[in-house]
Chains A and B, each alone.
Chain A
Amino acid sequence: MTFPTRFSRREFMKTLGALGATALVPATRATTRELLISKPIPSSGETMPVIGLGSSRTFNVGDDIDARDTCTDVIRHFLDAGGHMIDSSPMYGSSQPVIGYALDKLGRSSEVFSADKVWISAPSKGRQQMEASLRFWGVTGFDLMQVHNLVSWQAHLETLYEMKAAGDIRYVGITTSHGRRHKEFEKVMKNHDLDFVQFSYNLVDREAERRLLPLAAEHGIAVIVNRPFQRGDLIDRLEGHPLPGWASEIGCTNWPQFLLKFIVSHPAVTCAIPATSQVEHVKENMGACYGVLPGAEMRARMIGYVENL
């Protein structure tokens, strides 16, 4: 190791500035996160910004370096805006390696609440798949591991409980989407110790309000909402219509924020995980973390407005 023998004032000030900036960056990010609307994970009390980042389809770009770099930009803006949870699955093709590529390039894996899934029929191969997922992400452990779409859930849940007890993961969850297997999902929620559940819920598909959301509140389970925009179809449907003037009362300046605020304002919902491959969209989505959330009356008004379009 060598040390500079002479240190000019300019070099000294430059170094001091760099050190100051380095020290300031985490503080700024922490402050940013403190400003966001967050909700607690019921089983631990740890708080989570209400908007996370999904990776289904959007991050599945294979080995295309340009597309990987675009995904890296999306993650950079997500983290800069105070975002925390990134969710993926082995089912999503190359999404896991792409997340790993981005986190490695940004050097910011420690800022992420990593949520992944086990999705394999053979229970004996569950651990092997999760180890592969760890390698793809380039992290030492996952914060949350979920059984994807209830595939072989009995055996996988046992494995996840063992991993949680050993400190390999911090939270255990199950997932479904598009309203699949809700009855079985309910049974698992009632009879097993879960930290998180994940399912689809949005302004025009409110089936989860009947059973799953009340059940999650009753059992103290955090809720992650997937498909908040119905894979973009809902945005496409609403884009031609004007945002109501009263949307500004809850700090919404565009349809994605309107839709996301509706979702995360449900008392049982912890966060929503819209997926995108565009920086502009992640900025819009993170905008839903600011301002106020609609109350029951405003939520009813939001439903009425969209249903009458």
Chain B
Amino acid sequence: MSKGHTPSTETRRPDRAALVIAVFLAALGGLIFWDASRLASMGGYSGIGPATIPFVIAGGLLVLAVWTVFEALRGDFPARDRQEFGPVVWIVGGLAAQMLLLKILGFSIATGLLFAATAAAFGKRKLWMTIPIGIALCLAVWLVFAGLLQLSLPAGPLEHLFW
């Protein structure tokens, strides 16, 4: 990762994305500050209670936000690789599908869909093939982990056929 010390016309422009990060850090700091300020001050003997450290962290985040703005304006953030968003959408979609379907359809089907979506993100788009492979693999994993190692993995219609 190279730093922006070598002056080029591109890195010297204010970095919008980095400014967004600064806003995020400031918002996070503000949120912690707001949450901590509703805590009762129970300093006890130490003079510092449950709210003290959150205040310090919130303050730290605000300082870091200002520092980020400073570096963003100077263009000190490293150059970024171009990101392709198609694959990202596939994987995030797969994870979301697994999250929502886990309780209803059980571990194997939900995770099989995640498996197929991830494979699709890396270029294997033949879903009619990858989904069954994923479900079969996840069922095998379920049988080993839930059956033999007694991990509590949610069962669905498919798992009930076997267990």
Bind each other: no
Question: Which residues in A have some Cβ–Cβ distance to B below 8 Å?
Answer: none
